[in-house]
Amino acid sequence: MVTGGRLLEREPDGRLRELLAPGAFVDVSDPSVSRDARRVAFAGVTPTDRAWRIWVLDLAGGGLTPVTRAADPAGGRCDDLDPCWIGDSTLCFASTRDAWRAQYADLPVTNLFVVTVPAAGSEAGEPRQITAERNGAEEPAMDWHRGRIVFSRWWFNAHRPANTASGLAQDAREAIPADSVNLWQTMELTLSLGRERLAAGDLRTRRGEMGYQPAVLADGSIAAVYAANLGMSPEAGGTGIHLLPPRFGRATRLAGAIVAGRAGDVYGSAGGLAPPSACSPAALPDGRVLFSYSPGARGDLGLFVMRRDGSGLTRVLDLPGTLELDAVPVVRQPEPRPETMPRGDELEVPHAIPGTRTGGVSGDVIHPRPGTFRFHDLDVFADGPPGSPAHGAPPRTACARLRFFATLARPASVTGDTAVLLREVPVGPAGEVNEGGLPAAAPLFEQLVDARGRVLMGAHGPAHVAGLNAGVAGLTTRCVGCHLGHSTLPVPETPRAGRP
């Protein structure tokens, strides 16, 4: 969508400065300031290329550099969005270069890519894909304090569990009754390994799990957007901002629409009303949150700041007749801290590329590529403490088996995926599944069944992965459990190869 946006800088004294020459761009969005606060990357549409591309501008004046260009014309139109600095010369951005269509709606699928910003007079290199999300990955944000990329992914799986010959159904009338999952959640991606995991969320409700446009605060908590419609398609409905504590805990509403935490809850909901809207949070060095806000429910978004508890609401800028969006502070960021391998990840083979240090931060990122990974669930029947979101695992069942499915996308057909049973493997006596040779960079999901092929049930529904996940070539992905909230359970240490 092209709306005629402008790129403005607000000086400390309140003066506004136009950063781009009039007529150079038809539309601009998604600015991101470099770590040294000298350059800004943004997405722009030019009069000659009507698709979105990534550009970099010198904030001191001049120095406009094109970073991405049109992909292979045979692949059709693609858009590059949401640039984010992840190094002194490296950007992460979202793009529709896959040419996939989302399972839920006729929308192009975004995934994350990285690209090196070219020096003056040099040609930009080819972007490299670092995620393989089936329905979408976008809105990356760099956590400079911990050396990780935080982003939003669309968590959805059109294939539901069923006690049929295939074990699957796309028609809800044929499927086992279960909580449908259709939401944007906040993920994190390690720079050195490219391994994804859930970054934060309140697992007590689906609303609390939602996190779009994440902004990472200095203490590791994340301010993110929630919406009345968790999948935000065909429209978001009322939007607001809540604070998600580091990893998992209770979400705190900060600003925007009051919406129900559970489906069907009409009390405390914005249903039928014109609620205030809040979006586009950004972290300030003093701990406050800068964001776009329409307090009067008129849709006229301006820029405001608030404390991390939602208090101290103060207007910064609200121009008449326009929407102020995607504000970012022009401040220096700290040197990224060395990154350690997340617990549960282990390299199976030597795995490094030029410019990348395994277990550290550098200007490069390992990206999904053809290969295989190992899946190691130490105990599919592991349960969480009573009263926790991870409590309610299926009962231990003799002769249980775990099915691995892959989805093969058909770009020309909406929700036209083919679900393929890769293999069905026995669960060990202690609940262990340790399976190698699974295809990397491919959307997969699992299903736990008994000896007759019937899907096992836990307290929260069938033991069937409701989303789609992709493994990283050469890595072992370790977990425990096979039920709602299992990703919050700590993974016990296991001996590494060659270690007693």
Segment 292-323, tens digit of pLDDT: 999 876 778 999 999 999 999 999 999 998 99
pLDDT bucket at 370, cuts 50 / 70 / 90? low
Residue 62 has pLDDT above 60, yes or no: yes
Contacts of 489 (CB under 8 A, 6+ apart): 382, 384, 390, 479, 480, 481
Query: Do 297 and 289 contact (CB within 8 A), yes or no?
Result: no
User: What are the percentages of helix, strand and coil residues in the chain, rounded to 5?
Assistant: 0, 35, 60
Structural domains in the chain plus CATH codes: 8-266 (2.120.10.30), 345-488 (no CATH)
Residues 56-78 have a mean pLDDT of 82
- Convert the pLDDT of each residue in 118-173 to its tens digit: 887 788 789 999 999 999 999 999 999 888 999 999 999 989 999 999 999 988 88
Percentage, residues of the chain above pLDDT 90:
58
Type of residue at 383: D
String of DSSP letters for 336-373: PPPP-PPTTEEESS----TT--TTS--S------S-EE
Check whether 496 has a pLDDT greater than 60. no
What rounded mean pLDDT belongs to the chain? 85
Q: How confident is the model at residue 179 (pLDDT cuts 50, 70, 90)?
A: confident
**270 or 181, higher pLDDT:** 181
Average pLDDT over residues 377-388: 92
Q: How confident is the model at residue 231 (pLDDT cuts 50, 70, 90)?
A: very high
CA-nearest of 441, 436, 432 to 468 is: 441
Amino acid residing at 219:
D
pLDDT of 74: 52
Q: Are 155 and 116 in contact (CB under 8 A)?
A: no
Buried b vs exposed e over 108-138: b needs ≥16 C-beta within 10 Å? Answer: bbbbbbbbbbeeeeeebeebbbbbbbbbbbb
Cβ(470)–Cβ(441) below 8 Å: yes
Lowest mean pLDDT among 73-77, 192-196, 376-380: 73-77
Residue that wins the pLDDT comparison between 496 and 461: 461
Q: Do residues 247 and 254 touch, judged by C-beta distance below 8 A? A: no
In which band, very low, low, confident or very high, does the pLDDT at 29 lie, cut at 50, 70 and 90? very high
